[in-house]
Amino acid sequence: MYRLVSITLVTIIILSLITPGYITTFANNAPNYILIKDALGRTINITEKPLKVVSLAPSITEEIFYLGLQKYLVGVDNTSYSDPHFGIADYLKENKITPVGGYWWSTISVEKILSLKPDIVFADKGAHIKLLDFFKKYNITVVYLNAGASKSLQDIYEDLNTLATIYGKEELVENFIKKVEKNIATYRIKFDKLKYKKILVVVGIYNGIWVAGKSTYIDDILGRLGLENVVDIVGWKSVNIEKIMDWSPQVILITSMGITKDIVEKSGLNSTGAKIVFLDQNTTDALCRPGPLIIYLPSLLYKHLSSISMGEAPSETNTSITTTSTKQENIGGITNNIGLIILVVIVFFIIGLIIGYYIPRAKKG
């Protein structure tokens, strides 16, 4: 009896030391399922695993799919509903996931969100901050992520970590970060050999020319790849053609958001002497949408800039982006968990043998 009690106590102690995250994360009926801090700095107590999820931003939806959490979705924004990447559009339509309105807060249908009775809503801290009072009024758990308001690659990592912590997918995020950092390091060497590296990114042409400045997600990514963002002002700004000419960009990247060649011609951008590059939709999404598509951005962007340096027209990449790697990572996660369980069992067995050998002899002594 004494031997059994000793083994049980040792088992409890070892479990508490080795796997505190698993106990906290997967004790679904515990009073404090998990505590997280969102992008607004709010501490949120999630009492059980959210099974009905609403995503209000395409970058968030892509993160949900990348982590393999799409089965929990009951509602998404309209942009997500037509997202070709990761098989999102097909899945949402086949499973009749409810579209709850446009991306900006004023176009979101709060009535539809209420009708879905979600366990949790994932919102963009920039586009949806004005909906916070609504969520509070109706006691809806909302977690704000950086999403479209991200200012750096680190913000993407934080968003994925928040989602992963809630659903026990931390290992997938670790693998994601390793892949992204490896891709950036690999392509930074390639970009360094290119002739043109002084870049201006145009994200819109209306009431001026809208560009990505300092302290933006795009600025951070360009810098990490060894490219120079020539814009010397902070944030997303509308500027005139004279200002752009002062910056002397070598390449102007036009994101394919309804910006035609005629619009570019009328804006005066052709008079800057810079190489004008119209990005295809895949590259635009990876560059302008802070999320898991960042894995593919270095190679997509390199195709365009290397073609310009060699005097060739870049070939468009029209194929949608898939997540075959995510499935492999899931399998890896399961394998590692099994390995941990086997290790714990072996430790228990050894401790049991030690206790069984020494305690009876100590009594006799």
User: Which residue segment(s) compose the domain that 286 sits in?
Assistant: 191-309
Q: Are residues 199 and 295 both part of a single domain?
A: yes
pLDDT tens by residue, 164-179: 999 999 999 999 999 9
- Final residue before a domain boundary, out of 287, 309, 331: 309
State whether 137 and 199 are in the same domain: no
Q: Which of 267, 289, 309 is the last residue of a domain?
A: 309
Handedness of CA 185, 282, 101, 72 (dihedral sign): negative
305 and 197, same structural domain? Answer: yes
Q: Is the dihedral of CA 103, 134, 37, 33 positive or negative?
A: negative
Give domain status of residue 317, yes or no: no
Mean pLDDT of 21-35: 50
- Output the domain CATH number for residue 233: 3.40.50.1980
Question: Are residues 126 and 42 located together in one domain of the fold?
Answer: yes
In a domain, 163, yes or no: no
Instruction: Let me know if residue 124 belongs to a domain.
Output: yes
| pLDDT confidence bin for 2, thresholds 50/70/90 | very low
pLDDT of 339 over the 80 cut = no
What is this structure's pTM? Answer: 0.78
Q: Is there a single domain that holds both residue 122 and residue 239? A: no
**Dist CA 271 CA 284 (whole Å):** 23
Residues 25, 136, single domain; the answer is yes
Residue 169 lies in a domain: no
Distance CA 55, CA 80 (A): 9
Of 294, 309, 324, the residue that ends a domain is 309
Place of tokens 């069992």: 345
Domain tally, the chain: 2
Same domain, 126 and 46: yes
Provide the Cα torsion 277, 202, 318, 311; round to 10°: 10
Hey, which bits of the chain come out as E strands?
34-37, 43-46, 53-55, 73-76, 98-99, 120-124, 142-145, 198-205, 209-212, 228-229, 236-239, 251-254, 275-278
- 23 and 138 part of one domain: yes
In a domain, 242, yes or no: yes
Q: Is 254 part of any domain?
A: yes
Per the domain annotation, does 173 fall within a domain?
Answer: no
Q: Are residue 200 and residue 142 in the same domain, yes or no? A: no
- The pLDDT tens digits for 207-245 are 999 999 999 999 999 999 999 999 999 999 999 999 999
User: What is the chain's mean pLDDT, rounded?
Assistant: 84
Sequence-separated (6 or more) residues with CB below 8 Å from residue 102 = 77, 78, 79, 108
The pLDDT tens digits of the residues spanning 54-70 come to: 999 999 999 999 999 99
Task: Summarize pLDDT for 299-336 with one digit per residue, the tens.
Answer: 999 999 998 876 544 444 444 455 443 443 332 333 34
Same domain for 45 and 120, yes or no, is yes
10 Å CB burial of residue 242 (0-12, 13-18, 19+) is exposed
Residue 282 Cα to chain centre, angstroms: 16
Q: Is 320 exposed, middle or buried (0-12, 13-18, 19+ CB in 10 A)?
A: middle
The sheet with strand 53-55 has its strands ordered as 98-99, 73-76, 53-55, 120-124, 142-145
Contact, 40 vs 127, CB < 8 A? no
Angle formed by the axes of helices 58-66 and 153-167, to 10°?
50
Same domain, 134 and 24: yes
Those residues whose C-beta lies under 8 Å from the C-beta of residue 130, and which sit 6 or more positions away, are 105, 106
Helix (H, G, I), strand (E, B) or coil at 250: coil
Location of structure tokens 């790849």? 225
Does residue 27 share a domain with residue 131? yes
Q: Is the residue at 165 inside a domain?
A: no
Top-confidence residue, 275 or 352: 275
